[in-house]
Amino acid sequence: MTSRTWRCLALALIALMGPVTAYAQIEPQAGHWRTWVIPSGENYRVPPPPGPAQTQEEIRALRERLRNLTAVERAQIAYWDAGAPAYRWMDLINQRALAGARPVDSPRVAAAGRHHQGGRAAAADGRERTRQRDGHR
């Protein structure tokens, strides 16, 4: 199938699910619950997004910043960009566990990390093993 066909199918599926999910709310009155700690959710409204000029300025500033990264900053980016978002955090948790340090509720911490890795964990692990095997570590 072409990408256009996939997009059309995805849009059709979303359109069909819209009415179903509207009626499938677990707590339909949740928006009317009284809060315990804050006076109201109105106190924590997100400000409106920036306008086009400010957005372009932010993009320009980010590009400029990326052009001027130091070698240390590039190494840090490469380190944290090694796999799925939780990949390095799981590595740190495992290192602590192997060193004898027991993080608070470590099974729960480990399960949370695996949850955030999703299906990419096996792929990231496979890539890491390949790097080690080929001497790129």
Specify the pLDDT at position 13: 64
Residue 14 covered by a domain = no
Per-residue pLDDT of 92-117, as tens digits, reads 888 888 888 765 555 656 666 555 55
Is residue 70 scored above 90 in pLDDT?
yes
Asked if residue 28 is part of any domain, the answer here is no
What is the count of structural domains for the chain?
1
pTM of the predicted structure, to 2 decimals: 0.40
Domain residue limits at 127: 83-137
Over residues 35-58, the mean pLDDT reads 88
Residue 46 lies inside a defined structural domain of this protein = no
Tokens 């320009």 map to which residue?
Answer: 60
**Integer CA distances (angstroms), 15 to 10, 12, 30, 77, in order:** 9, 5, 24, 39
Report d(CA 41, CA 8) in Å as an integer. 37
Q: Give a yes or no: residue 100 inside a domain.
A: yes
Domain assignment present for 15: no
- Letter for the amino acid at 18? G
**Cα angle for residues 85, 115, 20 (degrees, 5° grid):** 110
In a domain, 37, yes or no: no
- Tell me the pLDDT of the chain averaged across its residues: 76
Confidence of residue 67 (pLDDT cuts 50, 70, 90): very high
Mean pLDDT of 28-37: 83
Taking the C-alpha atoms of residue 86 and residue 120, their distance in angstroms, rounded to an integer, is: 10
Helix ranges (DSSP H) in the chain? 3-23, 52-67, 71-80, 87-98, 106-117, 120-133
89 is a domain residue: yes
**Residue 31 falls inside a structural domain:** no
